[in-house]
Structure 1
Amino acid sequence: MLQPELAETPRVAEPRVERFRYAGFSYECRLTPCDRALTEPVILLGGFIQDKDAWRVHELAISQWATTVSIDLPGSGEADPLPPDHGTEFLADALHHALESLDMPSVNAVGCSYGTLIARELAHRHPGRVARLALSGMATLRPGKRIAWEDVMALARVLEEGRKEDFAREMIDLLMRGEGAPRARRATIVAKLVTHHLSTLPGHKVAKYLQNVARMRHAHETFGAFSSAERSQVVPRVPTLVFTGESDSLTPPEEGRRFARACGDARFTTIKDCGHMVMLERAGEFTDLLRHFFTDAPLAGLPYCNQVE
């Protein structure tokens, strides 16, 4: 794994769990302080089934140059279940409440896949809170787009029927489906690990996954979009990096490229030899790219990136 290149390695404090309560819902984060941070704290927001423990490897690298916060918002991980009619607006406000409680007036927000919706909504509803925004695997989930929303719904039905092994196999196919580009050897290992994780999900995490899918369905059927930011077509007004794997067919590069071009201050790139799950398939490169962007270092010429647009 690539490690941040620092002249002197800062001391990393022991992680600690912080707990919050907002609008009747309890949730928590793992905070890893960095005593000589080079930038604002980094907030990590993952996909449908990811929880704060999915970020442990990344925290080891990021905490060398920034304080990190991995959070289980309501409806994920060890947090309280969240009814489907509480959308990304509620989640962004719950995240904002946590950041206020942590006394973090300005943060770098990272969203991956489903997490991009929450990160973008945070920047939309609380723009003064976000210094920079990084969106990995970013696309709208509305039917008619290239993203396979119908596949997501079909997988939810498989899981509702209790067919965990079928769900795991079909989900990994959806997440790692490529478009002909070479893939890292690590992708095979990642596929096996993720398949095992998905096929052994405990009941409370299955329920939360299904609630998250229902949350997206409710938002689309009620409002025609998955967030107020998407509904109003407002783009982030902070420096933004949009990226995904070059062979990502779940959230295709062209979707992210189109979004980045609509922003006032955004860059777009793709990661070589990788699909949708950049954070797992190329974890070292993922954290190194974040270090460059969040510390305002040049992005051009990074060996694992294609052209930065």
Structure 2
Amino acid sequence: MTDHGTGTHGAVRTDAPAADGPLVELRGAGKSYGNIRALHGVDLTVRANRVTCVLGDNGAGKSTLIKIISGLHQHTEGEFLVDGRPVRFGSPRDALAKGIATVYQDLATVPLMPVWRNFFLGSELTRGPWPVRRLDIAGMKATADRELRDMGIVLDDLEQPIGTLSGGQRQCVAIARAVHFGARVLILDEPTAALGVKQSGVVLKYIAAARERGLGVIFITHNPHHAFMVGDHFSVLRLGTLELSADRGEVSLDELTNHMAGGAELAALKHELAQVSGVDVAGLPEAGDLTAPVATSPEGNT
């Protein structure tokens, strides 16, 4: 008899939400560290077959948001719901049990290990009776190859160290791994931050593929151009609060870029900057140009 380990792939959930219900929802969520309020009043809705982009500059609150949803930290205000039920995760393992997987920038891979070993790292398949169980190497290789191909990733040699792959390929392996182990909500932490144009395009392709597989994707990024290529909904954080929440049809790339870049502050400073020689302010927004909807959407983000 073959023991296929403890992975959640193929598990039947008895608490699955309705087809059109949100997978994850934050209502007025916030997080304080002592006297420091890192996040306040954030509404976010994540649905299947949609990419929800969360944008913001350094210090905007993106990392705190990730930590709440992934179970690393608990929210201190508001509500956090999964499948319509309030939750308070005690650890990332609790989030994984609910189908919420996070792919961080470091990818949690071992560079010198083969691709197939990294695919099953921490969840290895075994076979044989106890106490002489052994790794099911053939099964892991076959499964890794199948799952990667299902995501459109074809590797010539699964024995090659994962460190020899490009940054984009490593990101894609991490995405396929999360999908295989039962992720319904996939959080991607700045997956294109350290990549070139071509490799960023590869990652964006597989983000779209994950959406087509039925996942709800949370794409954390500071690049509005990357977000606009694949996003269905956009939430912009600024200084720990939600500055913008809009569906794709409600905001243009220019408006998204202005909000992301702090366009309101740039508009206020435009007059002062115009007095400085050598500064071109022609492309900066006017105070009345930022007309994108703020914290409104058909999904109920208010």
- TM-score, with normalisation over the residues of structure 1? 0.27
Higher Cα Rg: structure 1 or 2? 2
Q: Which has the higher helix share?
A: 1
Q: Which has the higher strand share?
A: 2
Higher relative contact order (CA 8 A, sep 6+): 2
